[in-house]
Amino acid sequence: MLEVGVTVQVLTARRPVAPEHAAAAARALADPLPPVLTLTEARTHFAIWCVLSSPLTLTNNLTDSEGVDAVWPIIANPESIAVNQAWAGHPGDQLEAAADKVVLLHCVPIWAGDANCSLPEWQSFAKPLAGGAAAVVVANHGFGVVSTQINLTSVPGLACAQGGGSCAVRDVHAHKDLGAFSGVVPVAGLASHDSVFFVIS
C-alpha cells in the first residue's frame, strides 16, 4: 500500500502484530518512530508505483484535509495515473540500477518485523505504453546528488529509438514537454530521494 500522506498519527495507530514479530515490534515501538515521507519522497514512491502498475491503494487519513491537500498534486496527477492504468503487454520492470548500494532504515514496517533495506543508489524502471511509447522513472535512493542517463535503445518497446531516431520526452511531474532526444536522455543533478518521471514517444 502507498505511504503517501501517512503521518506520525497513522504510524502510532494500533495494528495487529503477528506473534512471530512481537519482539521486533516491541523494540521498534521503544525506538524513535521511522520518519514519514517528505513530499519529494512521496512523489518518488507514487511514481514507482505507477510505472510498475501497482494498485494505487491510499493509506493516509482522508479526513485530514490539510494532509490531503499537501499530497493532492501527487495522488491526483492524471498523467501519473494514466501510466499506471495503461496496458501494452507488460506491467513494467527495472530497467537499470547502480552498482553502489545504500541502506534505508525501517523499510519493513513495525508490524512485519521492522527491518532495513539495501538498495541500489539509484534505479530506473520502464513500462511500455501504447503506440510504441514508454514511461520511465529514475529514482535516487541515496543521500547525495546523482547524475545518470536513460539509454533510449535499452527501453523495451520504445519505437522512436529504433535506428537512432529521436524521441519526444514529457516530464510527468511537471506536466511539461522537454523536447526531442536521440540516444540518451540525461538525468543530471537528481537530488536525494527525488525522481524523474518521463513519458517517451
Using a pLDDT cut of 70, give the percent of the chain over it.
Answer: 83
Which range (21-30, 36-45, 62-71, 109-118) has the least confidence? 21-30
Tell me, what's the pLDDT at 15?
53
Tell me, what's the pLDDT at 60?
85
Tell me, what's the pLDDT at 128?
97
Could you report the per-residue pLDDT of 87-107, keeping only the tens digit for each? Answer: 999 999 999 999 999 988 777
Of residues 109 and 87, which shows the higher confidence score? 87
Of residues 17 and 13, which shows the higher confidence score? 17
Tell me the C-alpha distance between 33 and 120, whole Å.
24
Using a pLDDT cut of 90, give the percent of the chain over it.
Answer: 64
Tell me, what's the pLDDT at 52?
97
What is the rounded average pLDDT for all residues in the chain?
A: 87
11 has pLDDT over 60: no
Distances (CA, A) of 156 to 89, 90, 91, 97: 11, 10, 12, 16
Could you report the per-residue pLDDT of 128-170, keeping only the tens digit for each? Answer: 999 999 999 999 999 999 999 999 999 999 999 988 889 999 9
Taking the domains of the chain in order of start, what are their residue ranges? 8-200
Homologous superfamily (CATH) of 8-200 is: Golgi alpha-mannosidase II (2.60.40.1180)
Confidence (pTM): 0.85
- Identify whether the C-beta of residue 42 lies closer than 8 Å to the C-beta of residue 13: no
Question: Phi/psi at 173 (nearest 5 deg)?
Answer: -60, -45
Tell me the C-alpha distance between 188 and 24, whole Å.
40
Tell me, what's the pLDDT at 21?
65
Tell me, what's the pLDDT at 113?
64
Tell me, what's the pLDDT at 10?
47
The cell for 24 is 521486533
Task: Give a three-class secondary structure readout of 43-59.
Answer: HHHHHHHHHCCCCCCCC
